[in-house]
Amino acid sequence: MISSVVISGVGLWTPAYSISNEELVDSYNAWAEQFNAKNFDAIEKGQIEAKPLSSAAFIEKASGIKSRYIYSKEGALDINRMRPILEVRNDEQVSHQAEMAIAAAKKALEAANKKASDIDMVIVSCAYTQRSYPAIAIEVQAALGIEGFGFDMLVACSAATFGLQRAVDAIKAGSSKGVLVINPELTSPQVNYMDRDSHFIFGDVATAVVVESSETCQSAHSFDVLSSKCITSYSNNIRSNFGYTTRVTDEDPYSADMLFHQNGRKVFKEVCPMAADHIESHLKSHGIQVSELKRWWLHQANINMNLLISKRLLGRDATLEEAPVVLDEYANTASAGSIIAFAKHHKDLAAGDIGVICSFGAGYSIGSLILRKR
């Protein structure tokens, strides 16, 4: 039996390009005005609905998002395209998502003071993979020179926490000596830039975490994983219908139904109490009071959700020190949000301090890890 499972390193890779709310809204509004002018007669006759305009002030107030990073900016703001352009790479080139994953993984290995030979399991866990096979994880494993095995996992916004639970269990069981859990969140290809309700929500990023035994840990900033807990509960309120069968169902791959869409209000109402109850019961099952938490690395979907969840548990607003916010700069990066918050805000904690990483989102899915600074 190993003495404890630790998170010994975290890596954050941020794309070179960003889009501010103002840039995004200017592009959407120009597209909407063009659409409305082109379809003037049909709109007048009530055959189709006019596209409403978006607003940067609404976006910031409703979500807390001010900007987002994007892997490829070209095309995304072009009103005659409204989707990014990704260059096609041949089979001998590193794929886009693997490139993001490798960049984050290298940073995590460095932070953990580890070499490729210390790792024997690679999990690429995110909201989408750009192909089904060979797994992105195996491509990353080969690029980094890691012996062992890798596989991909899809759990939308909870992919990182669910992947970490797999890693923790593998170390605990002794089936692995060191695991890289990588979250290359390339969300922009699935964002509907022609939908004002959701065009502002997502950004691209990659995060990676090294999980190992305390016996092998050589990191200056490591955390014991005291416990992990994952739950799912089926809901259609966040959905994308694009998949490998789209080609044979003859559905339009560009239609709104094929892209990310949600009933945001319902998600907000249903997920906040679920996430708060999940955190509370997880802590309780380990005899930890909410008031003992020094840090909440929460999923970064919406600032108002995070405020509501922490207020429900603490009876007051959490401070930015307690529950750091990164979504103003990064927006919702699917599963990577809580890991970005962890990457940017963990070094100041003292030995013995307890924090919780918690994700919540599509599925619905909720995952949490209770960590104690070593």
Q: If DSSP codes are grouped into helix, strand and coil, which group holds residue 69? A: strand
**Residue nearer to ligand CO8 on the CB measure, 6 or 362:** 362
Output the CA–CA distances (angstroms, integers) from residue 372 to 111, 221, 354, in the order listed: 18, 11, 4
How many other C-beta atoms lie within 10 A of the C-beta of residue 276?
Answer: 19
Under DSSP, the state recorded for 1 is -
Rounded to the nearest angstrom, the gap between the alpha carbon of residue 329 and the centroid of all alpha carbons in its chain is 14
157, 217, 230, 272: the active-site residue = 157
**Binding to ligand CO8, residues 172-191 (CB under 6 A):** 187, 190-191
Residue 168 token pair: 């923790």
The answer to whether 256 touches 192, Cβ cutoff 8 Å, is: yes
Residue type, 79: I
Collapsing DSSP to helix, strand or coil, 307 comes out as: helix
Nearer to ligand CO8, 24 or 217 (CB): 24
Select 8 or 207, whichever has its Cβ closest to ligand CO8: 207
Residue 157 or residue 160: which is nearer to ligand CO8 going by CB? Answer: 157
Select from 143, 268, 290, 312 the one that contacts ligand CO8 (CB under 6 A): 268
**Binding status of residue 32 toward ligand CO8 by CB under 6 A:** no
For residue 70, state whether it binds ligand CO8 (rule: CB under 6 A): no
The conformational region for residue 174 under phi > 0 = left, psi -120 to 50 = alpha, else beta, is left
Residue 99's identity, in one-letter code, is: E
Interface with ligand CO8, residue 21, by CB under 6 A: no
Is the bond leading into 52 cis (omega within 30 degrees of zero)? no
217 is catalytic: no
Binding residues for ligand CO8 restricted to 86-145, rule: CB under 6 A: 127
Q: Please report whether residue 241 would count as binding ligand CO8 according to CB under 6 A.
A: no
Distance of alpha carbon 28 from the chain centroid: 24
Rule CB under 6 A: choose which of 17, 58, 149, 151 binds ligand CO8.
Answer: 58
Binding flag, residue 301, ligand CO8 (CB under 6 A): yes
Q: Which of 139, 137, 128 is nearest to 91 (CA)?
A: 139
Which of 55, 227, 241, 246 touches ligand CO8 by CB under 6 A? 55
Minimum CB–partner distance for residue 316 and ligand CO8 (Å): 22
C-beta closer to ligand CO8: residue 58 or 151 = 58
59 lines the binding site for ligand CO8 (CB under 6 A): yes
For position 75 contacting ligand CO8 by CB under 6 A, the verdict is no
| Smallest distance, ligand CO8 to C-beta of residue 57, A | 8
Q: Are 179 and 212 in contact (CB under 8 A)?
A: yes
Q: Kindly report the length of the chain.
A: 374
Query: Can residue 242 be called a binding residue for ligand CO8 (CB under 6 A)?
Result: no
Phi, psi at 204, each rounded to 5°? -100, 150
Rounded Cα–Cα distance for residues 146 and 137 (Å)? 11
Instruction: Report if residue 62 touches ligand CO8, rule: CB under 6 A.
Output: yes
Q: Which of 226, 172, 180, 147 is closest to 8 using CA atoms?
A: 180
Binders of ligand CO8 in range 246-265 (CB under 6 A) = 260, 262, 264-265
Which residues belong to the active site?
157
Residues at the interface with ligand CO8 (CB under 6 A): 54-55, 58-59, 62-63, 127, 156-157, 187, 190-191, 196-197, 200, 202, 238, 260, 262, 264-265, 267-268, 301-302, 305, 332, 334, 361-362
